[in-house]
Amino acid sequence: MAVLNIENVSKTFGDTRVLEDINIAMAEGEFLILVGPSGCGKSTLLNMIAGLETITEGQITLDGRSVNTASPRERNIAMVFQFYALYPNMNVRRNIEFGLKMRGVAKQERGATVERVAKMLQIEDLLNRKPAQLSGGQRQRVAIGRALARDPALFLFDEPLSNLDAKLRVEMRTEIKQLHQRLATAMVYVTHDQIEAMTLGDRIAVMHAGRVQQLGTPREIYDDPANRYVAGFIGSPAMNFIECELIGEAGDTAVCLTGATDEARLALPSATTERLAAHGARRVVMGVRPEHLVPAAHGSAEAIACRIDVVEPTGPDTYLHTEINAEPVTARCLPSAAPAAGDTVALAVDVERAVFFDCDSEARIA
């Protein structure tokens, strides 16, 4: 049975529709990410799961029971927010045990829970400090500790790391993943950061404009994006989108690509050409990730000659900025093989990995 089931859920504030027909069934122990740009409705959905926001349409069930009208207290859910929301006048120990105390848990049991949670999060030395005496990362650990103390059926996280500096964010990301592996409790985690989504999630729901654009594993979302929005949102540097003309018949289709000089024709795999033929359009948008646009092997027939505008070393990879069909694109190469800005380089497209979108609807067509 799904721990959490969101069925046909919509949300309206006044006359503004902010969520439209959301359907997500979450498995036991799953780590589910809601990712999307600011304002797409992530927090609203999370708050509806928590019971902090009403449901306009549809149903949310937890362990098979509808919670549409249940108060937050009745839901056995713990939530961690971006702003830690600690009680400033209480020390760490009292912050962690506060919820238990309110529910009448005996002192001895509270003490044992605080010890267990503090050990798990390695904050044993901080129990007597007040929040003001803690760093941002420590505060966030205490906020997580407070959620852990409740031993809930489901954890909700709303951008818990976005107030931390970059290095700490990466460290805490690993800690949260380890925590999930140890607890095996279902978690819903909201972020606008696609790297956090890719690295943490068992499955990711990519949200945009109040809808789930795609729900899948990180690999499915990355390799097999449902539409141009998802393809462009996930991945860094972003996927290249090149509008191009299709030539030839079904089973023998090529795309025309122009770099710095003459036009190159790239033959497409037969499965791709069949799907493109079924769609019927002659102009399409080809999506190619930077790692699938690379300097061609010497003498390669299907390479595109491109003039490199900017060379960007990142350490493990070097990115090359250039143009194909008059659109800016990013290619990737090994640092040892990096050209200089101004050089003309033959680039090859891995057509097996290229994806195709409708120019107008932006739907995936091949």
Ligand X SMILES: Nc1ncnc2c1ncn2[C@@H]1O[C@H](COP(=O)(O)OP(=O)(O)O)[C@@H](O)[C@H]1O
Contacts with ligand X by CB under 6 A lie at: 13, 18, 36, 38-44
Find out whether 79 and 65 touch, Cβ atoms under 8 Å: no
Distance from C-alpha of 60 to C-alpha of 2, rounded to nearest angstrom: 11
Residues ≥6 apart with Cβ < 8 Å to 13: none
* Positions that interact with Mg ion (CB under 5 A): 43
Measured at CB, which residue is nearest to Mg ion? 43
Query: For ligand X, which is the closer residue by CB, 40 or 257?
Result: 40
Rounded (5°) CA angle 100-106-112: 75
> In 3D, which of 150, 216, 186 has the Cα closest to residue 63?
186
Min dist CB 256 to Mg ion, Å, is 43
Distance from C-alpha of 83 to C-alpha of 57, rounded to nearest angstrom: 29
Query: For ligand X, which is the closer residue by CB, 169 or 292?
Result: 169
Min dist CB 132 to ligand X, Å, is 28
> In 3D, which of 264, 249, 214, 254 has the Cα closest to residue 234?
214
Query: For Mg ion, which is the closer residue by CB, 43 or 113?
Result: 43
Element (H, E) at 56: none
Residues ≥6 apart with Cβ < 8 Å to 326: 258
The full DSSP string for 248-270 is EETTEEEEEEE-SSSEEEEEPPH
Other CB atoms within a 10 A radius of the CB of residue 33 amount to 27
Min dist CB 55 to ligand X, Å, is 14
Which partner, ligand X, Mg ion, none, binds residue 83 by CB below 5 to 8 Å per kind?
A: none
Min dist CB 38 to Mg ion, Å, is 7
Which partner, Mg ion, ligand X, none, binds residue 131 by CB below 5 to 8 Å per kind?
A: none
Query: For ligand X, which is the closer residue by CB, 95 or 191?
Result: 191
Rounded (5°) CA angle 193-197-201: 165
Query: For ligand X, which is the closer residue by CB, 19 or 246?
Result: 19
Distance from C-alpha of 366 to C-alpha of 352, rounded to nearest angstrom: 11
Query: For ligand X, which is the closer residue by CB, 206 or 308?
Result: 206
Distance from C-alpha of 44 to C-alpha of 42, rounded to nearest angstrom: 5
Which partner, Mg ion, ligand X, none, binds residue 197 by CB below 5 to 8 Å per kind?
A: none
Distance from C-alpha of 90 to C-alpha of 122, rounded to nearest angstrom: 19
Which partner, ligand X, Mg ion, none, binds residue 108 by CB below 5 to 8 Å per kind?
A: none
Q: Give the helix ranges, DSSP H, for 201-320.
A: 218-223, 228-233, 270-279
Min dist CB 327 to Mg ion, Å, is 32
Min dist CB 323 to Mg ion, Å, is 36
Min dist CB 43 to Mg ion, Å, is 3
Which partner, ligand X, Mg ion, none, binds residue 44 by CB below 5 to 8 Å per kind?
A: ligand X
Query: For ligand X, which is the closer residue by CB, 39 or 328?
Result: 39
